Chain A
Amino acid sequence: MSQHRHPPVQVVVCPDGPLLVRGAIEVVGEGGEPIAADRPVVALCRCGKSTRAPWCDGTHKLLRRRRAAPTLQEGPDD
């Protein structure tokens, strides 16, 4: 009777955006440190530029805008 004890974790890949994770309990950071997932659904950074890593902070939008602007010749973002 334990099949409902842990609801399955769901990961949603957002196009041009983060990974939405429902049901995560803990994320292990780059340095091996445990980071509590303190809301039922979290967004994990996928662009590598978040100031709140591992969480998404919307910075991917700036990268997308820069990619879209033909006048800005900067290095590749990825």
Chain B
Amino acid sequence: MRLPRPRGPLSSHLVTLLREPVRRDRALDDVAATAVREAETVLADEDVQLGLLIVQELSHDGLDGVDDGWERSPDVVSARAVLEDAVEAELRAEVAPAVQQILAEARRDPATAIFALTDDAEGPSLAGHLQRLATRRELEEFLVHRSILQLREADGHTWLIPRLTGRPKAALVEVQSDEYGGGRLERMHAHMYADTLLAAGLDPEYGRYLDQVPATTLALHTTARMFGQQRRLRGATAGHLAGVEATSSMPNRRVAAAVRRLGLGDRAAAYFDEHVVADAVHEQVVVRDLCGGLVEQEPALLEDVVFGVLSCLLLDARMATAVLDAWETGSSSLLAEQPDRLGAVG
């Protein structure tokens, strides 16, 4: 991925630093801590979320012109911890009342409690707006937002596999194998999303639209990776995946309808059609066997499983609110593209 355009002191510092050969940089920790301190909310702060995505990218796609050795730089590792701990703390504070409210019910029957949370998820329906009212431009914006997550679909949660054993491991491998197409590239969900972008006349390169995607959307991506890459957060990772899968079938049916209503065709709709059926399977396996099985092995993880579910629902609702608020005033929900990037792709 190309190094993105900075959005503040932290991302600016990183973009300059990472172009250099790997070296110590004792200032980075302070720069990260200051960015966290000055953010009104780290879940929606452009500089914090982009900075976090950049350091996480060192463990995923890598960055063009950046030495892979930066991944293990103690200063980068430390800054990443500063950012992720701040994100985790804010998420925990936001959902704490809802976690406590459902905990007793979840102890009796984890699966029923998780489905109760995801079925009653509040917040505006982005998919409902797309299905009924959205313009072609709005649908394209939606596809651009989702491109950050969907072109690397499933990867965040895959980090959990080697930390599991027994029934929850079998469940997660079954679901992730389906996410990756079961051995068939054309069925891999990330690949199908690239096809959707192409059919819509958009660029399928991962990160191509990063400079236009706001923090409220980046937070969906950075949080999944943050959960998945920490063993301590294995309960939250399982819960987060449950949140994703159990709120997917019906919204994707609506988006598929929007894609056809706006004339993008069956090829562009295939990704969304696939998710209607696939995620009706995945939600059962993830909620009952992954989350249920994990809590059976380690009952102390229940609270974190619920935390993961609610974190997913919260960030989804925030992203939908931001997008719909922009559209309601006739604005774009994306950040303005830098002038020198215009026309870079035909």
* Closest partner residue, chain A, to B283 (CB atom): A58
Across the interface, do A14 and B119 meet the contact criterion of CB distance under 8 Å?
no
Chain A residues within 8 Å of B277, by CB: 43, 52, 55-57
Across the interface, do B284 and A65 meet the contact criterion of CB distance under 8 Å?
no
Across the interface, do A56 and B281 meet the contact criterion of CB distance under 8 Å?
yes
| Distance A16 CA – B115 CA, assembled complex (angstroms) | 10
A window 17-72: CB within 8 A of B:
17-18, 20, 39-43, 51-52, 55-59, 61-62, 64-65
Across the interface, do B281 and A20 meet the contact criterion of CB distance under 8 Å?
yes
Across the interface, do A20 and B182 meet the contact criterion of CB distance under 8 Å?
no
Count residues of B near A (Cβ-Cβ below 8 Å): 23
Cβ of A24 to closest chain B Cβ, rounded Å: 12
Chain B residues within 8 Å of A20, by CB: 281, 284-285
Does B278 make an interface contact (CB < 8 A)?
Answer: yes
Cβ of B271 to closest chain A Cβ, rounded Å: 15
- Selected contact of B174 from candidates A41, A43, A51, CB within 8 Å: A41
| Distance A39 CA – B249 CA, assembled complex (angstroms) | 16
Does B276 make an interface contact (CB < 8 A)?
Answer: yes
Contact A43:B284 (CB < 8 A) given known A58-B249, A59-B250: yes
Would you call the interface of chain B mostly helix, strand, loop, or mixed?
Answer: helix
Chain A residues within 8 Å of B283, by CB: 58
Cβ of A27 to closest chain B Cβ, rounded Å: 12
Across the interface, do B178 and A61 meet the contact criterion of CB distance under 8 Å?
no
Across the interface, do A39 and B182 meet the contact criterion of CB distance under 8 Å?
yes
Across the interface, do B182 and A40 meet the contact criterion of CB distance under 8 Å?
yes
* Closest partner residue, chain B, to A40 (CB atom): B182
Across the interface, do B284 and A52 meet the contact criterion of CB distance under 8 Å?
no
Across the interface, do A56 and B280 meet the contact criterion of CB distance under 8 Å?
yes
Does B288 make an interface contact (CB < 8 A)?
Answer: yes
Across the interface, do A65 and B285 meet the contact criterion of CB distance under 8 Å?
no
Across the interface, do A40 and B178 meet the contact criterion of CB distance under 8 Å?
yes
Cβ of B104 to closest chain A Cβ, rounded Å: 19
B window 267-289: CB within 8 A of A:
276-281, 283-285, 288
Cβ of A26 to closest chain B Cβ, rounded Å: 16
Across the interface, do B280 and A18 meet the contact criterion of CB distance under 8 Å?
yes
Q: What residues of chain A have their CB less than 8 Å away from a CB belonging to chain B?
A: 12, 14-18, 20, 39-43, 51-52, 55-59, 61-62, 64-65
Known: A39-B182, A65-B120. 11 other contacts (CB 8 A): A12-B284, A14-B284, A17-B284, A20-B281, A39-B178, A41-B285, A42-B281, A52-B277, A56-B281, A58-B249, A64-B119
* Contacts A/B (CB < 8 Å), 10 sampled: A16-B115, A20-B281, A20-B285, A40-B177, A43-B277, A43-B281, A55-B280, A57-B280, A58-B280, A64-B119
